[in-house]
Each structure stands twice: as structure tokens, then as C-alpha cells.
Chains A and B, each alone.
Chain A
Amino acid sequence: MTTIDPAPDAARLRIPASPLEWRRQWLAMDRNPAAIAFAQTFAGQVLLHAMLVGCLLAMPIIRFNHVVLVAGALALCWAFPNRRLAILSLTGVTYFLLRPFKLEQVYGEFAAVTATGGTLLAGEMAMLACGLVFMAFSLFMILNIRGRWFPFASDRPLVFMFALVVALTAVTVLLPDGSIAYGPAWIALAYLSSTYFLLGYVLIDERSKNPPTLGVKLGFLRPFWAGFAPPFKGPAFVLKHEAKDDRALAVSRLKAVKLVVWALILFFVWEWGFNKGLYGALGLPRLDAMILANAAGEPTNLAMRWLAIGIDFMSVVIYMGAAVHGTVATIRMAGFAIPRGMVRPLEARTIAEFWGRYLFYFKEMLVDFFFYPAFRRWFRDSPKLRIAFATFCAAFIGNILFDMIHVLPTMALVGPENIAERYLTYSVYAGILTIGVIWSQMAAKPQPEDGWLRHDVLPRVQVIGFFALLQVVDDSFGDAPLGARLIYYASLVGVTP
């Protein structure tokens, strides 16, 4: 670890008199020379790391075991700052080998497949061996982009991997469980579907200006901060934001602490304000409960139906804010000052802008994987159609695929019809979202000269209203059938069953 003696400025750290002054100084601390100097001292580094880990533990959005991994990785990055990239590789590879899948159900099936002779090994040894084989496949994919031995896989790596996923899914669904090919095919599908987007970024990055080393790339098959969220871009992007000196590292860590404290505040608002307050003490019904009750013909109040949507929307935005900020703060503490993942979403004046402000990295992933490739290849003579089609590829196909790809290994277990039924509602959600985004890209935008109401107020009301109403069909778990959700829309204008 690198520490310096407190700078003379550190002595000028003064205690603010009022809460507003506290807030102002807190928000400006990553630009405050005294705070930056303190953050470079041993005590400052201990304090900042302890605050981050403490905040992560206090908001159980991330599993305890994952926080332990994060704490260990951060401690190593702190102790050996000049070996940060090697630590990133080591922890990433370890994390990938031990926890390669996203869904618990997939772990259960993996154990069953390996125990019944799908592989020569069973249990954790099988997982380790399969993980190493998949890493060899990833390495081959990376090297193939450099060598172009198989041009299709090299020029269109995402399409090639998607074709593999589709083929493996078909094989696992069509082959009987006892078939000799079922086990290897299912295992390959489990690894590829769980790593599709992370490996995708690793492959895309091979064409970036400064491609990372192979070791770093393998570490990004499951970087230690990765969870259920979309990838926080690829290794080239993260490395571009790496702190280059002690001062930059201190600033990155101060930004991390600011963000994780904000995440904790949002979590407490969600937990105490919504879960224990509105839904608990006041007994307000949750949106899904209202949808099911309404569809069952139970009497529900019109105002309550609207209220349930508003509360659900705010609750989801606040929870997502806490989760995204917690992860970005972790990455910043490791020394990579990447931009925030959510920035004042309710200030968005268009539907497309809301996506960028609400879930920046998810939007970036859809743009990188679906929008740009489609935009560069299709309808190049018709600008509006070109943008509309690329938007469809991102907001509809990409959106559904991101959610669906992780459950494809379960298709062989529950049947294609169950998966299709589960995603019927979500496809309606993605369809409405796509139309909204395309419309917002094409429509004329109000200008400042149109006045405060038309420029500042009405667009924001429209955007918030659109996304709040969209919550009714935002369901990728099949919690309530599509019919019940459409009945709920009708009931919002007084039409009830």
C-alpha cells in the first residue's frame, strides 16, 4: 500500500456548522485538497475502505459471501496498488471458476448432470474442470479475433456465440436426459449463457484502441464486482478510468465513499420508507397484489390503483439506484473512477434520455451489443428507418435476450412453452418500451423558447408517466398473467371486470 504523510492542508479540515454546510463539504470532498491528502494517509485509506465495506454490509442487496469476496479483492488492491490488474485477473478467474452461473437452479442441475455421468468428475472438481475448459474456449475466441482463422467467429463474435447458444438450447431440449450428448451440451450452454455478455465485452474490446492483456481479459469473465446486474462495460472501458497516480486513486476512493453512502441512504429510504412504512405500517397494497386482486374481480379503489403504480415505480427506481451505486462505488474503490450508473433519472426530458440516466450501463450494453452493430449494417440509405431498426434491435431483442439468456439452460427442464409463457408479458413490456424510445428519438423536442411549462415540466411528466405505467407489464418472472395486467390498464380508466 502507498501512503503519504498528511499534507499541511489536512490541518485545515474544519467541522461545518450547519447541516447544509455539512452536505456541501461532503459533496465537494473529492475536490477538497485537505480531504484528498487525508485519503492518501494510512488512516484515511483504512477509513475509506471500512466505510465502503460497512455500507455494503448494511444494505443486504449484495449477498454476504459476495461482500467478503469484494472486501478481500479490495484489500489486495490496497496492499498492492501496482499489481491492481494482476489482482483483478486473479480474483476474476477465481470468482468465475467458483461461481460461474447466475441462477441457483442452474447450480442444482449442474450437480445433477455431473453426478449422472455427464462428465468424468463430479461436484466442485467438475465445476473447476468445466470452468477451465470454458476459459480455454474464451481464449480461443480472443485469439481467433487476432488470427482470423474462422472469419465468421472473428468478424461477428456476438452473432457466432448467439448461434451457439441457440444450437445448444435446441440440442438440450430435443435430446433425452439420458443421452450421452445431453450432459456436455447442457454444461456448455450453462457456461455460455451465463457468460455471454461478459465474454462479449471481452471480445468487442479486442478491437479497442488499447486492448487489455489476455490475463486481464480472462479476469473480466467474472470481475469480482459482477453480480446479477449487466456488465459495467468491458475491460478496455474500465481500464481507461484507472487511477494513474496516488492523488487520482485518492479521488477515486473519495468518490466511491460518497456514492456508497448515497446508496445506503437510498436503501434505507426503500427499506424503511417503502417496505416497512408504506407497504408495512400503512398497509398499502403492492402493485402485483393489486393486479391479481383486480383481475379476480375484488373491489379496488381507482385512486388506489393509480397510487400503487406511482409507489411501485418510485420504489423500483430507488432500489435500483442503491444497487447500481453500490457496485460503481466498489469499482471506484478498486481504483477505476468509472462514471455513475444512474444520474437523476427523474430529470429526463425524453424516454431515450431516461434510459441513459436510469440504467446507464444497461443502456450502454444494449447499444454496444445490438444498436451499433445493426446501425452500421442495416438500412444505411434511410436514416429514420436505420435508427428505428437499430433501436428495435436494442430495446426489444436485446432487452428480452438479456433477461432470457440466463434461463435458457432451464428450458430443457421446464419446457419451451413455460419459458415462452413467462416471457410473453416481458415481450409486451419491451415492445411498448421500443415504440416509446423510437417515438422519443423521432419526435420534435421542445426548446427553451417554448416556455418553462412546455420545455421543463410537461416532457418530464410524460416520461415519468410512461415509465410508471410501463411497470404494470415489467414482469420477467411470470408473477401475474398478461391478461391480468391488461385488465389493470383498463381499470385505470374505470373499466373493471
Chain B
Amino acid sequence: MTATCTTLLDNEAIRRAITRISHQLLEKNKGCDNMVLVGIRTGGDHIARMIQQKIAEIEQVEVPIGAVDVTMYRDDVGSTRDPRPVGKTEIPFKLDSRNVVLVDEVLYTGRTIRAAMDAIMDIGRPASIQLAVLIDRGHRELPIRADYVGRNVPTSTFEQIEVEFDPNEEAHEVRLLKP
């Protein structure tokens, strides 16, 4: 039983996907006046940072950025023998009446997104919540969909998707691992 590993997105493809998502965000929101980015830890916060930089290049505007850790909101707290490590939620601005763009690396069952939306709603009352993901691998268990997708990848539940980040916390490769 040897695991095979395929590259889904290389460095260039990731860059292009981020560029397209950034343009789509600006188009749909007619600019970024009221927009804030909230990345889901860990991984989504780095993708959010890449989108923020791209939007800064395009529009010369720095969109506020925050990070949310959803551990406290998961629907399976208490199902692991040891409690999961809790990361920091850092949203250094008001969410009320803003257009919040949630950012995650991989969209799968949708449970993490549900938890993240609950976390956001506890912190403020945004005008809207949108979802941007680098990879959508299907297998949703909740009625949740992404508004912006880097790449749709049909997968089986046995496979794994790995997003690798370089030391500058930029995603530089997305791999599919088959058992």
C-alpha cells in the first residue's frame, strides 16, 4: 500500500487562483469599501493574507484582516480523548454592518464554516458573510457553498488534501494524497 501524491496546484496556479478570487471579490462587492477578510485558523488566515496583498496591489487599499479559531464552536467538542488545542481569535475591528469574507484553504464537509459563522455572529452583526476557499473538494454535510473557489477538486473521502505553506506563510503547493 503505497500512498500516491499528485500536485493539484503549483505555486503559479495558486497565485493565479488568488488573483482571480481577488478580482471576483472586488467585482461582486463593487470595490472593497466595506469589506473585511477573516481567515479561519490555521491555513485560512494565510490565504486571507495573500488575498489582502493582491487586493492592495489592484486597488491600493488595505482591507482589514482578522483571524478566527473555531475550536470553541466545533460541533464535536468532547469527542476526542484530549481536548483540541484552542487558537486565538483576533478580529481587531468591529464586524457590525461590514461585508465579511470568510477565507479557508479547503472546503469539505462545511462544518468548520458553520462553526466560523457562529463565531462571527457572536462577535458582531455583519451586513453579509461570503466565503472564499482555495480548494472545494465536495462532500458537503451541511447546506453551505462557497462564493469564490480557487479550484474544484472531486475527491473521495479516503483522499487527503494538503496545502503547503512556505516560511513566509504563502501557500506554494496543493497536493492530493491517495492512500
- Do the two chains bind? no
Contact surface of A with B, Cβ cutoff 8 Å? none
